A and B are shown apart, each in its own frame.
Chain A
């Protein structure tokens, strides 16, 4: 068992293991610094099966939203730009620092958050933030029985969150989009058809639509559905089919389209809350 939060296990023990000694390794977290990269490579080498466990390892996760920025901007904000920071000499952490008694080292903070499979070869993925209990049980059970799907599979049903959602759909068009705090939804009806943006159509299920049961929309932690791997694009296409003016028209003017679309605030954060590093967008373009 490799669970250092609860058990005193030794790094050297892992290094001293023969290759492929660990049967299964569930790896949490994305890769954003040199130490995490080192750990990912070491555990890949020592494990027969490597599972990207949870949205961060699978898709980059919420911290992957940092790919809209870079190290320089993050350092400027955190160490110089927040309301409570008092840093008259404008210093920030360094990978090697000489203190009075000797030298201290820190891992290198990268510009870009990467998923686990952008760093090492990954065998399986357990989606979700956090993975639903039933997803973890399914993965452990499949591994124990040796009944695993082909390498590279996401260990979740093929259906979407929408397919699992108990709310009723009436195939209604919407013309106005509401923020979650602007509208108390009717309890049993589809949130999207009530104008509340819900990532359910573009998100892989296997979670039991748990957020929907709390009257809150899906925000996409399960990642894309198997047949449309670009989650944001899938959501835009789902919206295109439901968003429209009250009176149906064959063709909308550019202004009308613009007005409809401009209701979607922060499309990047909305469509890629968990999946920016894994998407075709991957990160903001950097020019030095």
Chain B
């Protein structure tokens, strides 16, 4: 048997390693996606001050710190039994949708988009943001950099500091927003709506305008029929910051809708010896291994997960695009893994529209941003990180020190599905021992669609590791080394 190792996978945040085993006729026997890192936040956060949790957990990841910050802050609201003033909730959400602008832009232009915009079989030195700029134009490059910076700036204005904000407190946030800063956000938000529309047009032209890409999106190699999960508002529309968790089955019917505090009735995690990350599954369906379908508890989160688990978007332009996507791809739910890219851009548009709405809301400059917390207890906070449903659960002692912690982090919800997607892509694309550059990239595309962040998943810092592929025979001798 041959073994192909892709280690580590480039263009994803964090670090992963794919091992593909070929049988003697060169067909794919199985593939494993390993996460080689762990940090142990669940252990070393015990004994810390509860109010430090939104700071400590932002250090789980440099990509979605804002999500950890607010999942932690919301868990503290619940643990101290305090409801923040309406203005504080709006400011948190405003900062939060601003972070989506930053993050989804990063993914499309830097991480996942190059596969489509430049092309999946383009030479590797072109398959990056610079290649995207070459193809789409230098002006676009400037716009990309500008709008990513806008997202960071919104975090800084409300959160105190970009990347790792500090504003979250049980019962509110640390500081009101000034009128001057509100105006700055409004301007950035309006420009972001135009930018998101432009990005969708780019996607329509380059991807949907090319039947080869559309066929690829719809192909079996990239299809997985799973459950889907996401936060929804009271009208079952996508919400990033708050709401109930809704799960739909592989046929698109509502399976369960639960409030954050009931997550343990619905989600459990399975352990394997060959990776440092655990495998979440729907408790009521059960862990059935790496299989899809209605009898397997595997589910998917993130942009496509949220869109599938909802009945629509809460802003007009995003809703229009939502309807167009489902019409184009044959109705709900969409099971194509590569449709994550499209769903992500629909969310980018929603985030920008929602940033405009909130920045124009007169209440966001209210000075009433903190309510006094009650007695320390236990709390669960759930937000939608860009990469999916993020759960923080804290138990506090009577001095408000952390007694117990549980974290189910966005990307790991997708981990069972990512393993299956990688395996299925490998099986669909690699035949007769033919392992070339373009094929391996197309295997990697299966997981890049999820925008996986294994910095988060393993609660470990970004491993700055490049890529090597080694092919072994069944006697574990290296037959050849392939470089990407």
Binding site for B on A (CB under 8 A): 2, 4-14, 27-30, 32-33, 35-36, 39, 56, 61-63, 65-66, 68-69, 73-74, 77-79, 81-87, 91-94, 97, 99-104, 106-107, 109, 129-130, 179-181, 184, 210-211, 213-216, 219, 265-266, 268-270, 273
Contact A6 B274 (CB under 8 A): no
Which B residues are in CB contact (< 8 Å) with A32?
39, 460
B470 to chain A, nearest CB (A): 10
Alpha-carbon distance between A266 and B269 when the two chains are bound, in angstroms: 30
Which A residues are in CB contact (< 8 Å) with B472?
102
Answer yes or no: B314 CB below 8 A from chain A CBs: no
Alpha-carbon distance between A210 and B181 when the two chains are bound, in angstroms: 16
In the complex, which of the residues A62, A65, A69, A103 has the most CB atoms of chain B within 10 Å of its own CB atom? A62
Other A-B pairs, 17, CB within 8 Å; known A68-B47, A86-B269, A179-B49: A5-B10, A6-B129, A11-B466, A29-B463, A39-B465, A61-B59, A101-B3, A102-B3, A179-B400, A181-B373, A216-B166, A219-B55, A265-B399, A266-B48, A268-B47, A269-B52, A273-B52
Contact A10 B80 (CB under 8 A): no
Contact B37 A77 (CB under 8 A): no
Alpha-carbon distance between A2 and B481 when the two chains are bound, in angstroms: 22
Known: A7-B10, A39-B464. A130 touches B276 (CB 8 A): no
Contact B461 A63 (CB under 8 A): yes
Binding site for A on B (CB under 8 A): 1, 3, 7-8, 10-13, 19, 21, 29-30, 32, 34, 36-45, 47-49, 51-52, 55-56, 59, 62, 76, 80, 110-111, 124-125, 127-130, 159-161, 163-167, 169-171, 174-175, 263-264, 267-276, 278, 280, 287, 370, 373, 393, 399-401, 404-406, 408, 460-468, 472, 474, 476, 481, 483-484
Contact B43 A12 (CB under 8 A): no
Contact B49 A10 (CB under 8 A): no
Contact B276 A13 (CB under 8 A): no
Known: A83-B393, A106-B275, A265-B399. A211 touches B462 (CB 8 A): no
Within the complex, which residue of A35, A86, A106 is in contact with B270, where a contact is CB–CB below 8 Å?
A: A86
Within the complex, which residue of A8, A93, A268, A269 is in contact with B276, where a contact is CB–CB below 8 Å?
A: A93
The closest CB in chain A to the CB of B32 belongs to A104
Within the complex, which residue of B12, B128, B370 is in contact with A184, where a contact is CB–CB below 8 Å?
A: B370
B283 to chain A, nearest CB (A): 8
Known: A33-B36, A36-B463, A102-B3. A211 touches B161 (CB 8 A): yes
Alpha-carbon distance between A27 and B467 when the two chains are bound, in angstroms: 18
Within the complex, which residue of A8, A94, A100, A181 is in contact with B80, where a contact is CB–CB below 8 Å?
A: A181
Contact B174 A215 (CB under 8 A): yes
Q: Can you show 22 pairs from A to B with CB atoms below 8 A apart?
A: A4-B465, A5-B10, A5-B11, A5-B12, A10-B483, A11-B466, A12-B483, A63-B59, A65-B48, A78-B43, A82-B406, A93-B38, A93-B273, A94-B273, A104-B19, A106-B36, A106-B276, A109-B276, A214-B174, A216-B174, A219-B166, A265-B401
Which B residues are in CB contact (< 8 Å) with A181?
51, 76, 80, 169-171, 373
Known: A8-B467, A28-B464. A102 touches B476 (CB 8 A): yes
Alpha-carbon distance between A151 and B408 when the two chains are bound, in angstroms: 42
Within the complex, which residue of A8, A27, A92 is in contact with B127, where a contact is CB–CB below 8 Å?
A: A8
The closest CB in chain B to the CB of A129 belongs to B164
Top 6 A-B pairs, shortest CB-CB distance: A214-B160, A74-B40, A62-B59, A101-B21, A29-B461, A11-B466
A112 to chain B, nearest CB (A): 12
Contact A35 B43 (CB under 8 A): no
Contact A14 B466 (CB under 8 A): yes
Alpha-carbon distance between A278 and B171 when the two chains are bound, in angstroms: 35
Which B residues are in CB contact (< 8 Å) with A106?
34, 36, 274-276
Known: A2-B464, A7-B10, A30-B461. A211 touches B29 (CB 8 A): no
Contact B44 A65 (CB under 8 A): yes
Alpha-carbon distance between A105 and B59 when the two chains are bound, in angstroms: 27
Contact B465 A35 (CB under 8 A): yes
Contact A214 B62 (CB under 8 A): no
Alpha-carbon distance between A160 and B19 when the two chains are bound, in angstroms: 49
A71 to chain B, nearest CB (A): 8
Which A residues are in CB contact (< 8 Å) with B19?
102, 104
Contact A107 B36 (CB under 8 A): yes
Contact B464 A79 (CB under 8 A): no
